[in-house]
Amino acid sequence: MIMSDVGAKPKSAGITVVFFVILSFVVSFFLYEINNKGTRRVIVFESKTNPKELSYEVRFLKKPLNKDAVNQYVDELLLGPISPQGRLLFPLGTKVRSCFVEGNVLYLDLSEDALQIFPTEASDSVTAIKILKKNLFTNFKNIDIINVFIMGKRVEA
């Protein structure tokens, strides 16, 4: 009987150690997820008060689960500014038809809503595309060329 009691103690001690290792991993993972604020991205919009000036915002975007970071960033741009001093780049309702990076080239196709002109609400198309490119080049250093399309037709700015 004495031998069986001695053999039981090291086995339960090993189980306890494994339990605490697993518990500390789980707690560390949850603390990491809670404190992970995402990637810092700078977003530039045209100023409403002075169209020659730009309005800057900083947003923290979490890593997307079902799409890449560039697509998530463009979606965030299309939502518009948080600050009332900024002007929408494109009219509300503008959607991303397709967005992908091949090598160092970004291909971005926007919906036809991007062509609508609302001078009091959104930037004109040429200015919007210039600011869009500035945003993308600033936040994604791996992109060297940006090809913007609206309804499949290439647009230049």
Lowest mean pLDDT among 26-30, 107-111, 131-135: 26-30
- 74, 89 Cβ separation under 8 angstroms: no
Q: pLDDT of 19-53, one tens digit each?
A: 888 888 888 877 777 766 678 899 999 998 888 89
pTM of the model: 0.73
Residues 151/97, Cβ–Cβ less than 8 Å: yes
- The C-alpha atoms of residue 134 and residue 153 are separated, in whole angstroms, by 21
In 19-95, beta strands by DSSP E? 39-47, 54-61, 86-87
Which pLDDT score, from 0 to 100, does residue 18 have? 84
Least confident of 3-7, 58-62, 90-94: 3-7
